């Protein structure tokens, strides 16, 4: 299957790529430094920062800094449907970003979590979505159980109020 991707660079430029396009690249990597070879031309690329969950990368190419965001077909579909994979805007609550089935609950009341810790897994549209803690804190309430069906916006997990 020829999967499609969208790369956004510095929030100004968008590029459409396919998995076939990516197969045409030769990449030679050593830690955070890589050389990408395309059409017999080599470009030195240094990875400065990565956020794999949000698919955001900061790269240095020829001394220039670039912010790159990668969007796959699922991301595009979710965006088109007006849904979000992000957490609730209130940092004390984790709400369901879309309807689905709870596959895992990784926290209990009283657990201490750090920002980015996996708290539960939601299956939606045949894809597993790992929801994370929006901040450091203590779990106040867990309103879900494994195997439960949830609706978009439903309150799943609460953290102690952030004072």
Residue 90: C-alpha distances to residues 12, 126, 135, 150, 154 (Å): 29, 27, 10, 19, 13
Digit-coded pLDDT (tens) for 105-114: 999 999 999 9
Domain-by-domain residue ranges, the chain? 4-71, 86-159
Digit-coded pLDDT (tens) for 140-159: 999 999 999 999 889 999 99
| 3-state SS assignment for residue 26 | strand
DSSP assignment of 90-149: STTEEE-SSSEEEEEE---TT-EE-TT-EEEEEEETTEEEEEE-SSSEEEEEE---TT-E
What is the rounded distance in angstroms from the CA atom of residue 106 to the CA atom of residue 56?
25
The DSSP bridge partners found for residue 100 are 150
Q: Are 131 and 117 within 8 A, CB to CB?
A: no
CATH topology of domain 86-159: OB fold (Dihydrolipoamide Acetyltransferase, E2P) (2.40.50)
pTM above 0.85, yes or no: no
Digit-coded pLDDT (tens) for 12-57: 888 888 888 878 878 777 777 888 887 888 888 888 888 877 788 8
């Amino acid at each position: 299957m020829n999967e499609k991707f969208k790369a956004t660079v510095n929030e100004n430029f968008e590029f459409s790529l396919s998995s076939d396009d990516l197969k045409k690249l030769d990449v030679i990597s050593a830690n955070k430094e890589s050389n990408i070879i395309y059409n017999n031309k080599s470009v030195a690329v240094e990875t400065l920062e990565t956020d794999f969950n949000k698919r955001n990368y900061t790269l240095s190419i020829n001394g220039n800094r670039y912010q790159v965001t990668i969007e796959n077909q699922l991301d595009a579909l979710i965006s088109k449907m007006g849904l979000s994979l992000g957490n609730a805007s209130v940092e004390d609550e984790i709400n369901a970003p879309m309807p689905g089935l709870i596959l895992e609950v990784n926290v209990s009341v009283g657990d201490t979590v750090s920002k980015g810790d996996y708290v539960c897994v939601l299956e939606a549209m045949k894809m597993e979505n790992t929801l994370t803690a929006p901040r450091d804190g203590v779990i106040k309430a867990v309103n879900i159980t494994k195997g439960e069906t949830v609706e978009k916006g439903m309150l799943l997990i609460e953290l102690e109020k952030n004072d």
